[in-house]
Structures are given as C-alpha cells and as structure tokens.
Structure 1
Amino acid sequence: MSITLHHGPSNPTAASFATRLLTLCYGGLAYLIFLGTFLYAIGFVSQYVVPKDINTGAAPSLMKALLTNLVLMSIFAVQHSGMARQGFKRLFARFASSAIERSTYVLLASLSLILLFWQWQPMPSAVWHIDNPVLAGIATAGGAVGWLIVLYSTFLISHFELFGLTQVVSHFAGRMVEPMKFKTPGLYRMIRHPIYLGFIIAFWCTPTMTLGHLLFAAVTTAYIFVGIYLEERDLVTMFGDQYRRYREKVAMLVPGIF
C-alpha cells in the first residue's frame, strides 16, 4: 500500500520503438491486472458477487487455516514492502528500465493478492453478527465508504503514476517523467495516510465478522502501521524537513487525534 511514487527512465528516447511499445503494453497489462484484482478484493472482503470470498469454502482445521492464511499474508507483506524500498529500486534499475519498475511492483503485488484469494482458508466461526437491519446497513455502507476513500485518495496523488501507467506512457512518447513534488491535496491536508485509513475502514466495517475475517483485518491493520513507518522513513529521506513539518502538523489517520 505504499504511496511512494516512482520515476521514469533517464533517457527514454534512447530505446527503440519496439522496446517502447513493449514497455507500454507491459505497463497497460499490469494496470488491468491490478484493476481486476482491486475489484475482486472488494468482493472478497465485502462478500459480494465474486465466486470465492473470505468465508467461502469448506473449513479445514483451525490450525491449518490459521497457518495457511498467515503465510499468504506474509508473502504479500514481504513483496509489497520489500519492493517499495529504495534499495530494491536501485537494484532493479541495474537490470531493467526504470520505466517498468512501478508496473512490475504493481503486477507482483496483484499476483500475490490473487494467490491469497485463491488459497485463502475460511474460518467461519462468528465473532459478531449485527441482526438489526439499520445497524447492519450502516456497517455495510461504512465498508463501501472505506473503499471509496481508497480509490479517491489515489486520484488525489496521481492515480496513474501510482500504478505505473504514467511512467510507461511517458517512456513510449519519449518524454521524461517530471520529478515528484511534495503536495497535500484534499484529504491529505487532514490526514497523512487516507489510503490506509480507507483500507482499515473497509476491512473492519462488516455486519458479520467471522474469525477468518477478523484475522485478515487484524493482520492487515498491523501491516499498515509497519508500512506507514517504512514509508514515512523514505519520505523523510526524499523531502527532509518539508515532510517533517507536515508530519508534525497533520495527523496520521484520525484528524486532530492520531
């Protein structure tokens, strides 16, 4: 869930047309896979439409389900955080064009999530269930609001650059990607990490919380706080005192509180 943006190649015009076209197709395919994965994630967590959601399937033993699900979430966490670090980006640039670095990150994150959806083991014991239809509707609406916050926040900070399209389109056109500028539009004036807040709301707002859903929500929330620490360390390195002042003035997740 890193929101650190990435830059294009240092000399896009040096690549042949065929190479630039292949790069564009690769980035476009990675984005389409991400988009499908994101939409499936909404259905998976919220239990809408998709053939397999977080509670679908025959339940194995509790220990088997727990261990399998923790491994699946760990694979995603290691890939997601590891590839977002500056050291990996420098290593990647030694072997491939930096124009596809973000697209590769997005593609592998999507594939690790697809693996999680495919192999997730249900743990159907109910932790809570809201019987009141009004309260259940509020919980369901809250989850939908969380997903909307996630999507809206990505557009505030350049959705297409965040998911690699800007880089490959600029590379195809032979243009340099402009250096990233520090900006705090919209929700970013109130909290530093609205994308993460949206995910937390989406994961926890449900009228029926099963043990498996609770495990997913708890582990991903813990991972979000680890991600925030790592991401802010990188942002301080990139923007220095400008980001430090922003961090002092603006709450992390809850306006005026935390």
Structure 2
Amino acid sequence: MSRLLALLYGAVCYTVFLLTFLYAIGFVSGFGVPRTIDGGLTAPTAAALVIDLLLLGLFAVQHSGMAWPAFKRWWTRYVPAPIERSTYVLFSSLVLILLFWQWRTLPQPVWQLDSEPVRWALYALAAAGWLLVLSGTFVINHFDLFGLRQVWSYAQRRGPEREAPFVTRAYYRIVRHPLMLGFLVAFWSTPSMSVGHLLFALMTTGYILVAVKFLEERDLVAQFGDTYRDYQRDVPMLLPWRSARGQGNTSAGCPLGHAAGGSERLPR
C-alpha cells in the first residue's frame, strides 16, 4: 500500500473520529448540534425503544467484535496492518454517526432539576467527565490509540515496533479504566433526565461494565499475566474507593476498544 496513501487515510479516519467525538458531547448534553438524545426523530414509544436498542446493540457488537483478537487476526489478512487501527476507528465513528442520525427520542421526563446552582454543577460535572476521557487518551498514547502513530511509522519506513511495556501513570494509578469512568460521569450528569437519556445511560453503562470486566481485562491478563493481576489487586476498576498500593512508574488500558498494543480497550 502506498505510504502516502496510508498516511492520508489515517488522517481522514482521525478527523472523522474527532468530529464524531465532538458531536457526541453535544448529542448527550443536548446542545449545539442538530440532533440530540431528546431532540430529533420521533416514533411511537415501542418502535423508538426497539430502534434505539438496535442502534446501541450494533455499536456494542461492532466495537467489541472488531477488537476481538481472533477477528483482528482474520481481518489483517485483508486490511494492511498499518491501517488496521485507523479502520477500526473509522468503523466505530460511522456506527456512532448512524446512531446520532437515526436515534428516536423518548422525551418523557424522569427527573427535572430546576435549581440553577444544581444545574450548573451537573453541567460542570459532565464537562469534567468529557475532559477526563480526552485527557486520559493522552496519558496513555493518544496517537497510538487512534491509529496515527501506526500510519506515521509506516510512512517513515520504520520497521515493526516493540510492544510497549505495561506502565501506569496519572489517572491510571487511581482507577484502572479512567476513560470509562469519564464516560459514565458524562452520561449520567444531567439536570434533565428523559426516558431516552436514561435508556442511553443504562445501556452504555451495562456495556462498559461487561466489556471492561469480561473482555478488556481478560485480554489484558492474557497479555501481561501476573503484572496485570497485581494491578487489579492494587487499583480499583472504576470507582476510586481505595488507594493504590505502591505503584511504580508503570501504561494501562480502556474499554472503548482494544488500544493498539492492547493496553486500552472504548468505548477497545
């Protein structure tokens, strides 16, 4: 594959991801974009539930399925290894775009908080959640996670790089999956919870818990063995309810897809 073409492809995939991520903030928070959780297409309640559940299920299947090691081994027979990560990022972004486009609103209120200080506090908490997600990708390796390092290395004619050692730093000394914690904070911190928003928050929370516990951490244990088992014992998974036990300068992972190199899974 042309090295320049691979680099351009990776840059396009990253741009699509970045725009999708920014749209997701508006979609969940309910402002600044044409369609949000509570503002967009409508349908009878039963039909809306079915459509929304199918969209969320499609994302879960794509996101975890394409991150599955056996699928990646098969997939890279046809997709050049340097652009495999970029292709994963592109597919995840396209499925999210489909969700934003076809989401059916369920605007019936579950709770409505009218106190201005409380509303602004919840908006600030949601913003902190999104900031935790974005900054957490830089704590590990943002450009590796979204495929840019791979296409850049290929364009520079570098050979295969050695797998990075397992290290934990910053947020990863407090919880094992800070990116997922950031998503949960962002999804639940709202002063106006509708049925549709509650459905979205419940289903994404369930997916995150299952993906982290039974997919991501299983793969990390298989990859790093006792090193990761010790990390599991020392650092809580999502809620910082206990302090880490003497962590060294040791990079970790997230469930939004297995990160290239396997240290972060996300929403892999």
Does TM, normalized by the shorter one, top 0.5? yes
**Contact 2:166/2:224 (<8 A) preserved:** yes
Return the alpha-carbon distance in structure 1 between the equivalents of residues 201 and 235 of structure 2. 25
Match of 1:83 in 2: 66
**1:222 and 2:206 equivalent?**
yes
Match of 2:228 in 1: 243
Match of 2:77 in 1: 94
**Contact 2:38/2:196 (<8 A) preserved:** yes
**1:169 and 2:166 equivalent?**
no
Secondary structure (helix, strand or coil) at the match of 1:256 reads coil
Match of 1:10 in 2: none
Match of 1:202 in 2: 186
Aligned residues: 241
**1:145 and 2:114 equivalent?**
no
Match of 2:35 in 1: 52
Secondary structure (helix, strand or coil) at the match of 1:96 reads coil
Secondary structure (helix, strand or coil) at the match of 2:229 reads helix
1:181: how far off? 1.8
Higher relative contact order (CA 8 A, sep 6+): 1
Return the alpha-carbon distance in structure 2 between the equivalents of residues 223 and 180 of structure 1. 27
Secondary structure (helix, strand or coil) at the match of 1:131 reads coil
Percent identity between the aligned chains? Answer: 52
Match of 1:8 in 2: none
Match of 2:138 in 1: 155
Q: Which runs of structure 1 show a deviation greater than 3 angstroms over 4 or more consecutive aligned residues?
A: none
Match of 1:105 in 2: 88
Match of 2:217 in 1: 232
Return the alpha-carbon distance in structure 1 between the equivalents of residues 183 and 40 of structure 2. 24
1:151: how far off? 0.4
1:94: how far off? 1.5
| Structure 1 unaligned residues grouped into runs of 5+ | 1-14
1:57: how far off? 2.8
**Contact 1:59/1:124 (<8 A) preserved:** no
Return the alpha-carbon distance in structure 2 between the equivalents of residues 215 and 256 of structure 1. 27
The structure with the largest helix share of the pair is 1
1:257: how far off? 4.8
**Contact 2:66/2:72 (<8 A) preserved:** yes
**Contact 1:81/1:227 (<8 A) preserved:** yes
CA separation of 1:61 and 1:27: change in aligned 2, threshold 3 A: same
Aligned with residue 182 of structure 1, among 166, 172, 190:
166
TM-score relative to the length of structure 1? 0.91
Q: 1:138-180: per-residue Cα shift (whole Å, max 9, x none)? A: 1111110000000011100100100000000001101133412
Secondary structure (helix, strand or coil) at the match of 2:36 reads coil
Secondary structure (helix, strand or coil) at the match of 2:110 reads strand
